[in-house]
Amino acid sequence: MIFCVFSFNRGRYLENCITSIETCAPDHSIVILDDNSTDPETTRVLEKYRGKYRVIQPPGNAKSKHHLGGLYGNMQRAFEECIDAELVCYLQDDTQMVRRLEDKDIEDIEARFQKAPALGFINPCFIRGINFTKGAEYAYNAELKLYFRERSRRSSGTYFSALLVMKPGRLRDAGWSFAESEPANNQKAATHFMPMGYLFAPFAMWLPEVPAYRGKKKTLGLKLAEKKRKCGYYPFALMTDSEITDLKQRHESRLPIAEDFLHCEGQEPPKPWAYNPLTNTGWIKTLNQAEVSIRRLFK
């Protein structure tokens, strides 16, 4: 499997993500797609890996966000670069692998794609506990050994996620290309494929409570939100053998919820974990929205 890692101005997080892949999937390939990071720490990390892995960056004068930069433009670039690979996994710099990936895991993923010709995407991550505050429901398909999202207040995540495992040839044959937002990709995937599957035994996860990337021009509201939520660097401890056994041998009715199976190294943020600093921040979120609107008016 090829791991494509998408990066922008989060050097410490990028290094953690790459280290987790090296530890958990040492026999698999890594490609780093960076969106022309300007942060000195990120530049240092990219130089560290440049001689070891392929590092792809758009030209400095890139004007087309879809084809030459931006998250989804780089996802399209990775798709084109890895078109002949059997399996490709997309991760981002603020994610990491949390357990070793065994040959049996790869065989199981391949088998699920084989059993479901209409399956376009599999999500490699644990389910976010905070999703259940938004009305999400998941059902297990025993034949495919995958969970599927049934209900949610948000459509995104039902057919598509930016973190994914795919068979590039299957997407190519369906005429797939990545759109420029997650909702647009979710809508597009709904016309091409069946709903996205969630692994019975996931192997990756977003880090919780990650602050906005370095160099972002933050509103006062965003600064207050990050302080309220105690945003910071909370990498996951790798799962032990007994924890992996518990994950793989549990009953299907026990959903693979991140907070139930994972823990952070050292200090851990309050649960349920959030992945956007503005989550559940009340008037602070309203303040941020007002500031963003005012900035747009005076652009």
With beta carbons less than 8 A apart as the criterion, state whether 279 and 134 touch. Answer: no
pLDDT in tens, 235-276: 999 999 999 999 999 999 999 999 999 999 989 999 999 998
Cα–Cα distance between 78 and 59 in angstroms, integer?
A: 15
pLDDT in tens, 63-121: 444 345 689 999 999 999 999 999 999 999 999 999 999 999 999 999 999 999 999 99
Half-sphere exposure (CA, 13 Å, Cβ side) for 49? 26
Q: Which residues pair with 30 in a beta bridge?
A: 3
Those residues with Cβ within 8 angstroms of residue 250's Cβ, 6 or more apart along the chain or in another chain: none
Domain boundaries, the chain: 2-204, 208-297
Is 2-204 a CATH 3.30.565.10 domain?
no
Three-state secondary-structure class, residue 205: strand
Cα–Cα distance between 77 and 33 in angstroms, integer?
A: 9
Type of residue found at 266: G
With beta carbons less than 8 A apart as the criterion, state whether 213 and 8 touch. Answer: yes
pTM for the full predicted model: 0.92
